[in-house]
Chains A and B, each alone.
Chain A
Amino acid sequence: MKHNNMNTEPIWKSWFARHGAKLLLFARQQSRRPDEAEDLLQEAFVRIWRLYGHTGEVAPGLVYRAIRRLAIDWARSIDRRQARENRVALDNPLSLSFDRTLEQDERKQALLRAVDRLPHAQKEVVTLKIWGELTFDEISQTLDESLNTVASRYRYALQKLRDFVPEEMSDKTSASTVEE
């Protein structure tokens, strides 16, 4: 019996093409260094895909949650969780995770610097909401926080960003004036 040629592709590839960048951004935010972020994402994705990959469609929220829990486990294992949360913005600024051509756009640069100035908990929510495209309900499940807490953090974060962006813009302008 003759069979037709079947050209197939594993579903995880198209799934990862859709969600990989967002997940990596979150992993970078959760980890201390960009190279550790890739390990974190790989470990979390492989664990979740082995469990649910046969269904062909995995909710991204599961991988976000796995990333966060693994990040906490890894940090605990070396007893540096506190240090991680304090240093994360310094060691791994969010702007490194975006297209470098943004350097041409001062407003966007200021926006990313403003996001980096947010407290870790608020930045987490902004990352999941804006770039992860999760609902507040999904974010609350990912972060193990109540819906109200998550929504409040997001609201506060936006208020702070509204204030931080003009500051960042003016700081940059004054810095460039001094350099001249």
Chain B
Amino acid sequence: MNEYEQLEAELRSLKPLPPGEAFSSKLEKALGSAGNLAVRRLPDAEDSSADFLPSVPPESNPLPFTRLFFYTGCVGAGLAAVWALFFYLSNGLIAPSYVTEAEQPLFTDHFAAQVDLPVDDPESPVHGVTLGQLQDTSPMPVMGWSDPQNRERFLRLVDEGIFQRPSGVPARRVRHYYMDETLWSHPASDMRILSTSPREEVIFIELDTY
């Protein structure tokens, strides 16, 4: 180490005084809402210990599975409607020449005899199917789902530059892309269902004109 390097090292060893707490508070006030545009998530005890792990014992909250089965029920109902339509059309297009007018009432009677009247169960997410029926027929468990875990994942940021707002004030447009994730878990069967949905946030930052 030559004498200049030594001099530099000595200078670097001197540390300037940091700004006081009062100054930081003043700065926070001066920044206002601009100070909260970018935030970082701090680790906390609850999150670190229970990141996507069930925090509520099973059977404590019956609501999540209801919501889950509402969505799966909707999908099932949609599939059933498509199947019924296909069945109806295929019978209408292929079979009409084989069905005589005399046979029609018999067919209608037979079909009507097989269809049960819809049962309205307020606990069931699917109309016309009771919770018990759903539990019997569904391959998924109905009870024992924990509270869903929600997580917001920041993907990227796109600065779309400066543009003129209708008011005439220029602003910078920034678009944030997120992925919202919801995880349902069933501890007893170790079943997990992850639902993801993309989300965008557009932020306008007003610019000073001076």
Contact = CB atoms under 8 A, between A and B. Distances in A.
Interface stretch (A11-19, A64-72, A137-145): A11-19
Contacts of A173: none
A20 B174 CA distance: 26
Interface residues of B, number: 47
B125 interface: no
A24 B207 contact: no
B16 A53 contact: no
Nearest to A127: B16
The secondary-structure label for the interface of chain A is helix
A130 B147 CA distance: 54
Given A8-B42, A54-B37, A56-B38, A130 B16 contact: no
A24 B150 contact: no
Contact of A51 (B42, B43, B172, B182): B172
B17 interface: yes
28 contacts: A1-B182, A7-B41, A7-B43, A7-B44, A7-B47, A8-B39, A8-B42, A10-B35, A11-B38, A20-B18, A24-B19, A38-B19, A45-B27, A46-B30, A50-B31, A50-B34, A50-B208, A54-B37, A54-B159, A54-B174, A54-B203, A56-B40, A98-B14, A98-B15, A98-B17, A99-B17, A102-B14, A131-B14
Interface string B130-153: 000000000000000001111100
A150 interface: no
* Chain B interface SS verdict (over half): mixed
Contacts of A115: 11
Interface residues on A, range: 35 or more
A56 B17 CA distance: 25
